[in-house]
Structure 1
Amino acid sequence: MSFTIEPTMKATSAVCAKHFKLLVVGGGAGGLGAASKFARKLPKGSVGIVEPHEDHYYQPGFTLVGGGLMTLEANRRKEAKLIPRDATWIQNEVVLFTPTQNALTLKGGEDLSYDYMVIAMGAHLRFDKIKGALEALETSGVCSNYSPFHVEKHFQEVLTFKGGNAIYTYPNAPIKCAGAPQKACYITDSILRKRGVRDDAKLIYATSLNRIFGPESYIEPLEKVACEKEIEVKTRRNLIEVDSNSKTAIFEVLDVDGAPTGDTESLEYSLLHIGPPCSAPKALRSSPFADKTGFMDVDGETLQSKRFPNVFGVGDCMNTPNAKTAASVSSHLKTIDKNLSQVMLGKKPKSKYDGYASCPLVVSRNSAILAEFNPEGPLETTPFNQKKPSRWAYFLKRHILPALYWNGLIKGYWNGPGTMRKFTRMFKSE
């Protein structure tokens, strides 16, 4: 396996070593952030990163790309340019974990070993779990902001939309960025109004949840937004099939506990945006690290594997109860920075992840609700009313957070807003 690194890079060769002090599996936000932190602490060549893809995307920007507010290219970088100095990029993918031997196997049969490992494999999009969805994505009217291959299509579909049902779905399964489907719906409303065709459209947000959004604190303001925009919210609806020939979306009706009732509902669509169910990557699902759901089984506070103490998790691949967002990764990194360092010194991990997650809910082309929370409730940072749509929250989403991601998070410098929150709470007004 070989790859090209520009002369200005100082990353080491991808084939120079078979054993690493620390092996990081995954080169997304969590993987790069973890590798960057420890590449600065450990001797040169001690850190390896297993990542097969050449392109790295700022996925939180996809909602804006799908709304014509950013370009896809602005959210893409070459992975080779992001690998931290003195780390080794193994451009391959893991097919087998053998943690009892502190080893893994790559596609092609090559084995790597490690003293410590961070698993940051993310969550995979599973359009294949919805009958007909993969085929439908290649037809007119069907798109998804979750995929770099279909996000630009969403904007084009909205620009050419002439009338009918525009349906946005949320699955009955784990999903990355749970607010993304309704954000896309709100932005579509703004575009259609600007085009003068909103009266010809019926916007529907169909969610498997029994309410518009998970964290309770933001339900009322989001219901108000949906009402003002005349968006019909269908709860307890899970998309199970797309018939692109008849342009029909079929939903199973769920009970209050999220279980199928046996009833279905079919809706014709002119535009269908699919929020795909997600799962852990295949190699992780079938590994000793996984729980019964397939996600990495970790201690929810220390982020340490429950079975293998020299292994930690970061990001969407874990079974922690937090929402799967890029913002969560910042607090994950803060936690493992301390805990993995302690384990490397032969000590017990003591730092605790606070469950932080954030979702800037864009509700128009220039305003947003800045939702910050953990499983217990709101965990807001600013002294302002974050439940009210505002231009400053949109400015943060559009301009500040991308810069913070590229220059802070993936370089291992941004550990989340926890310290800032302690300060601003002194000025918080309810």
Structure 2
Amino acid sequence: MGVGETILLLLGGLIPLGYAAYYLGRRKALVATAEGIRMHSRPQQYGWYSVVSMALPAMGVAIAASLLNLLGVVTPPREIVLLMALVTAAVGLAVGLRVIRPSLRARNILDNLIRWLLLGAALISIITTIAIVLSVIFEAMRFFREVSVWEFVTGTVWSPGDSFLEAAGRGDEVTEGSSSFGSVPLFAGTFMVTAIAMAVALPIGLLSAIFMSEYASPRIRGTAKPLLEILAGIPTVVYGFFAAITVTPVVVDIASFFGLDASYSNILSPGIVMGIMIIPFISSLSDDVINSIPQSLREGAYALGTTRSETIRQVVLPAALPGVISAFLLGVSRALGETMIVVMAAGVRPNLTWNPLEDMTTVTVNIVYSLTGDQAFDSPQTLSAFALGLVLFLVTLALNLVSTILVRRFKQRYD
């Protein structure tokens, strides 16, 4: 019997038992109420109490068996586990029905159960985040035992070694000498493409949100907003093709027209396309924030003689500023983590430059190449991916802290 069949049989047995538990528990409460007995909770709550009394022990048996198997303590046969779970469910159902009485606080028990379930869901999210951070920190510490932190943070040359270069398709760049792990070129490319993307996305997204919330009719808004949000559902690989095949030649031609030399793997093209991809994030969030501003603020401004544009500029936007800042930083986080567009349109050359018409690369692209090369997992080339991920995490954390401070400051001012 396979795992899928066992799960299906377990659910197939628990679902009828659950229906029977709800029916019998509710019926017992209704009978007691009809006899003039005052029950603490409603009949349906006693029914759900019976379901919980039946399901929780059965799920506990199944989870315990899975943990024993996972830890290698014992591997019980699936048929035995299925039988024990169903027998436990039947016993739990009998016990749950037996304890139903007027003094049983079924409502309180169900409320506490839901509270613990929600707390468990929150703890799972927190524990998962902590586990991810700790795994990155431990591997990064192994990297920093071999490479100086100062060299990694301040170094301006990223040359991790021959095997890494050959795995990345850059064997012609192989030179003799020690490896260099200066991350400044990678973060320079990351910040460059993020700045270009936000320079495109923020004005377009914010202006489109203002138009849809303040100027567009309901019919135009109902058509324009879904069309704009379609951009968020396009796969990033499609954006990468668009950047490499369409936008890059246009950028090169425009640069040639002005007498500038532009590489066909420049960082400007993926930045522009990344900004187009981020537009719906900023536009949708800003639109929701602007619509949530009370109409009384606008009417008060109109009563003082301001025009619509003045009201938007001096009343609506300042009141919506915390939400706009949140949308902006969400877009920044999205741009910092983007990989596919950059690797398809800008390449993987770590180049430290201020010229967006030259080729550059980003941190996430090098993380991918560090983990997909042919080098050993404990080599500095591979472990450098965790160090890059740790620094990128710290940068993102700092941005989130700054955004929290700014949002709190402006909320105190305008709320």
TM-score range, shorter chain: under 0.3
Larger Rg belongs to: 2
TM-score when scaled to structure 1?
A: 0.20
Bigger fraction of residues in helix: 2
Q: Which has the higher strand share?
A: 1
